[in-house]
Amino acid sequence: MKNIFKISYLTILLLLGTYQVNAAEKVELLKTDWSFKGLFGKFDRGSLQRGYQVYTEVCSSCHSMKYVSYRNLAEKGGPEFTIDQVKAIAANFDVIDGPNNDGEMFDRPAKLSDKFVKPYENVKAAQAANGGAYPPDMSVLAKARSGGVDYIYSVLLGYEDPPSGITLDDGVYYNKYMYGNNIKMAKPLSDNLIEYSDGTIASEEQMAKDVTTFLMWAAEPHLESRHKMGFKAILYIIILTILVYFSMKKVWSRIESEV
Amino acid sequence: MSNQEYVPKSKFGKWFNDRLPLLTLASHLADYPTPKNLNYWWTFGGILTFCLITQIVTGITLAMHYIAHADMAFESVEHIMRDVNYGWLIRYIHSNGASMFFLAVYIHIFRSLFYGSYKSPREIIWIIGIIIYLLMMASAFMGYVLPWGQMSFWGATVITNLFSAIPFVGEGIVNWLWGGYSVDNPTLTRFFTLHYLIPFLILGLVVLHIWALHVPGNNNPIGIDIKKPSKDTVPFHPYIVLKDGFALLMFMLVFAFFVFYSPNVLGHADNYIEANPMVTPAHIVPEWYLLPFYAILRSVPDKLMGVIAMLSAILILAALPWLDTSKIRSAVFRPLYKQFYWILVADVLILGYVGAMPAEGLYLLIARVATGYYFIHFLMILPILGFKEKTIPVPLSITEPVLGGSPNLATVKKKRV
């Protein structure tokens, strides 16, 4: 038994060691309470809905979210807007469809089944409009940065005046948490930038937290059912393990001198 | 291998068994005499079989939804994660399953090293095992390429580029592997094909691995030859089946924890960024299970020599039955080997650690020392130890140390988990 502990301890050390490689090179990230962490973690519905509002009113003018569909906004485990709300949201956007029977492409309002409409036609257009920097697609952003949600939250709140001695080019901003400290995105959030429809005070921190929560959901839309199923699965395995353990003890007791 | 010939009870059973002796095989597997002192380190064989089958079943399901095309692979993985029913579950089991598979195989290999399971008459089992391990690494590497994220693309670029170190024909071989002049769609489609093929080769080799095992039978913690069947053995069913089952469930607990609560912790965040040949990630790091070999590769300044060192580090294992000159199998009776064994374990863990670090300064120095020691262990310490070491007297049978009060009682008891 001692050896099992020894080995598992060493293995965990190794795994943690590799894990920390990514974390070690960065400054300490800002922390906040995420409702979706932990064994029973769930999204805060209000936060998701507000987060969608921040995304759509602030981020979506530059950042696409090409793997998320409007229908997802009404699905269980997400912001859970009503179907009618989502239909109204989708109808605000135009998509190009076609060709019709005359061979022409045409515009129509977006439907539930459409993916989020992109702000730019393609990567080149996005770069041209943003000083050469491509605003990354936000569908899986929360999983695509080491540090995850903490990192995104920190970057949103990490804008500062550059330390003396550092001069920045035009269109480049200083961010304490950004890799390399230079970011081409202007400070996106400020107090009361938007007016939350549920009346929550739109402080900078509140918006950062809400939109990051929304990004986590966008990246991991099945997180809630994963946590729920995980709890059941693990409970089931534990009970089965106990049963098998006692069966094993019983069967092995037939051997008189167990070695 | 049971003493009396198996005879099916039913008439149909007899008719069938005379034509295809599947029932005889089943009876052999159930009765297979197994040393009764096997500890939990021996349960990893069964766990590995479970891992392989899990990977094949989830893999085939994923292949029904995945599209092996450079423009669509990343999107199809997102489609699996979002829109396929329980697609996220299947994919997370598959991706974490690879890590669990390697965790189990490393324990299985190091168990063999501790108890000398590779020694005569089990050399063929061992060598088949090494081939399986090599195929596992190839398959895991190609599987990691399929999501076509940044780490997929650049990992594939770095690893395939290793072949360019071969003198004269290197460049040609790399272009041949790529199916072009860079890692691109042809590379992805062939990797997908091979990633689908290799697990079935592994499955075939696993059958040979078990077949070869059933000829001499299991080694055991005290490493002596035992009479089969005898008082020292128990039939595989129900004794070992239950014990393996219990250990497998414990293993599944860890597995489930990763799948449901930290599904991405063992992967690299960059792999959620779609492959972009124009942008190189800051650090290109392989998956954790390849890190020790990555460290060996980078510890040698010359590219070709680095590749040779890395390959030798794996292939040297195949020669192990002949490099280890000691007649005593179990480290329980080899006080010096036991210490060198733990040093080797630490050495490999250190290699894994520095493999994840940038290859510079102190890390590079540590990697070089650890690489050197790795080879010294196999090429010098093991051959010499067999002649110089004073071993502890080995008991005559498994029951003897318990009944006869041999001086090794304490040590043997400690090994029992």
DSSP, res B288:
G
Question: If you average pLDDT over residues A182-201, what whole number do you get?
Answer: 94
Please tell me the distance from the alpha carbon of residue B25 to that of residue B5, in angstroms, as a whole number: 11
Give the phi and the psi of residue B364 in degrees, each rounded to 5.
-65, -40
Residue A164 confidence (pLDDT): 86
Residue B37's SS3 state is coil
Say what percent of chain B tops pLDDT 70.
Answer: 95
Question: If you average pLDDT over residues A180-185, what whole number do you get?
Answer: 90
Question: If you average pLDDT over residues B341-370, what whole number do you get?
Answer: 95
Whose tokens are 């402080």? That residue is A203
Q: Summarize pLDDT for B288-313 with one digit per residue, the tens.
A: 999 999 999 999 999 999 999 999 99
A127 neighbors A133 (Cβ within 8 angstroms): yes
Nearest Cα residue to B130 out of B209, B51, B56:
B209
Residue B227 confidence (pLDDT): 86
Structure tokens at B404: 């006869």
Please tell me the distance from the alpha carbon of residue B274 to that of residue A134, in angstroms, as a whole number: 13
∠ CA B361-B366-B369, rounded to 5°: 130
Question: If you average pLDDT over residues B103-127, what whole number do you get?
Answer: 97
Paired strand residues for A174: A182
Record: contact B250-A241, CB cut-off 8 A: yes
Q: Pick the residue with more confidence: B227 or B313? A: B313
DSSP per-residue string spanning B320-347: HHHH---S---GGG-HHHHHHHHHHHHH
pLDDT-based confidence at A255, cuts 50/70/90?
confident
Residue A23 confidence (pLDDT): 47
B366 neighbors A27 (Cβ within 8 angstroms): no
**Is A186 at the interface with chain B, CB within 8 A?**
no
pLDDT-based confidence at B401, cuts 50/70/90?
low
Interface test with chain A among B84, B218, B272, by most A beta carbons within 10 Å:
B272
Distance from CA of A47 to the nearest CA of B (A): 21
Interface test with chain B among A2, A10, A18, by most B beta carbons within 10 Å:
A18
Structure tokens at B272: 């959620």
Distance from CA of A150 to the nearest CA of B (A): 13
pLDDT-based confidence at B2, cuts 50/70/90?
very low
Please, what is the average pLDDT of chain A? 90
Nearest Cα residue to B331 out of B257, B223, B247, B232:
B223
- The answer to whether residue A19 scores a pLDDT higher than 60 is no
Say what percent of chain B tops pLDDT 90.
Answer: 89
Structure tokens at B323: 């490099």
Please tell me the distance from the alpha carbon of residue B58 to that of residue B91, in angstroms, as a whole number: 7
- The answer to whether residue A16 scores a pLDDT higher than 80 is no
Please, what is the average pLDDT of chain B? 93
- The answer to whether residue B255 scores a pLDDT higher than 70 is yes
Residue B404 confidence (pLDDT): 46
**Is A23 at the interface with chain B, CB within 8 A?**
no
Question: If you average pLDDT over residues B154-177, what whole number do you get?
Answer: 94
Of A67, A230, A240, which is closest to B260 when you measure between CB atoms? A230
- The answer to whether residue A3 scores a pLDDT higher than 90 is no
Helix (H) or strand (E) holding A75: none
- The answer to whether residue A24 scores a pLDDT higher than 90 is no
Residue A150 confidence (pLDDT): 96
Record: contact B107-A7, CB cut-off 8 A: yes
CA distances from A28 to A23, A150, B117 (A): 9, 10, 47
Structure tokens at B16: 């069938």
**Is A140 at the interface with chain B, CB within 8 A?**
yes
Paired strand residues for A95: A108
Question: If you average pLDDT over residues A147-152, what whole number do you get?
Answer: 94
